[in-house]
Structure 1
């Protein structure tokens, strides 16, 4: 990890992706490295920014709290996140309905004992 090796030589700009001394990456280098990984592992072609959307969509589909996703994306409000990723909400609505059904069945089971 560059921060541990460089100590005070590492400049922390609070970036998600940085070079080995903490400064912003050159966009050309970033795209070249991403394309290398895509080709090496035969992944579908994707632009770097699309990884952000994939990250958010997967978390929401897995049931992560939308507030947590909004914070990870550094959105100023949860409404921005939910407006952007509303295509995920039908699945989330079904998951919520399934959880409620499970809770009602659990209550009914306990009452019948």
Structure 2
């Protein structure tokens, strides 16, 4: 209504310019979570041993994939001969429907090398899934997904959240989120001295500033300790 009124006023030459252009809309703020300790990650992975989604967490822990990217990963996206993964598809719920969609940006759509630990877990997972597919041949609906439901269809993202919620309690980490694994990857790589632009490429952030923001937020305790030392010198 306001926009139409402004356009009418401009046509009648009541105002000389579109004052709506003077309105500044604040940029959306990226909410940064916390990272996990190495011990927490190890405990989370340990309690998934033997579960059909064990490999999902072994992929998430070092690569920091988003929830939809994990659920949208296809076998055709993996080259298990060279040990690489191309992230090009995501599972999202939109308009009340579960949809397989391309990743949003070129930064999201990129190739990542697979650490040996992850590569071996995927090889085991591939064999396990083949046995599962053969056992459930009558009801299996193949979508070529690496981490499908028990009948081959895309997993509802909220169901993965529920699984992780039970997992984190069992691991003694009741307050962490699945997305915190992504922040953990950034934090650990930066602590290991990996250059920010390389960490940015692995996390597939559009801007290295976001990579640094995630790292600084995840390392609040480290900054507190550092400033504590400075306080000891100055006080």
Name the TM tier (shorter chain): 0.5 to 0.7
Q: Which has the larger radius of gyration?
A: 2
Q: Which runs of 5+ in 2 are unaligned?
A: 1-124, 134-141, 227-235
CA contact (8 A) 1:70 1:77 kept: yes
Measure how far apart 1:41 and its partner are.
1.9
CA distance in 1 between counterparts of 2:176 and 2:205 reads 22
Return the offset for 1:18.
Answer: 4.2
1:2, CA displacement in angstroms?
A: 4.0
Matches within 5 A, 1:1-113: 1-2=125-126, 5=130, 9-11=142-144, 18-19=147-148, 21=152, 23=154, 25-87=155-217, 88=219
Task: Give 1 or 2: higher strand fraction.
Answer: 2
- Secondary structure of the residue that 1:85 maps to in structure 2? helix
In structure 1, list runs of 5 or more residues that go unmatched. Answer: 95-113
Distance 2:190 2:178 in 1: 20
Contact 1:2 1:10 in 2 (8 A): no
CA distance in 2, matches of 1:86, 1:41: 26
Q: Secondary structure at the match of 1:48?
A: coil
Q: Cα RMSD between the aligned structures?
A: 3.3
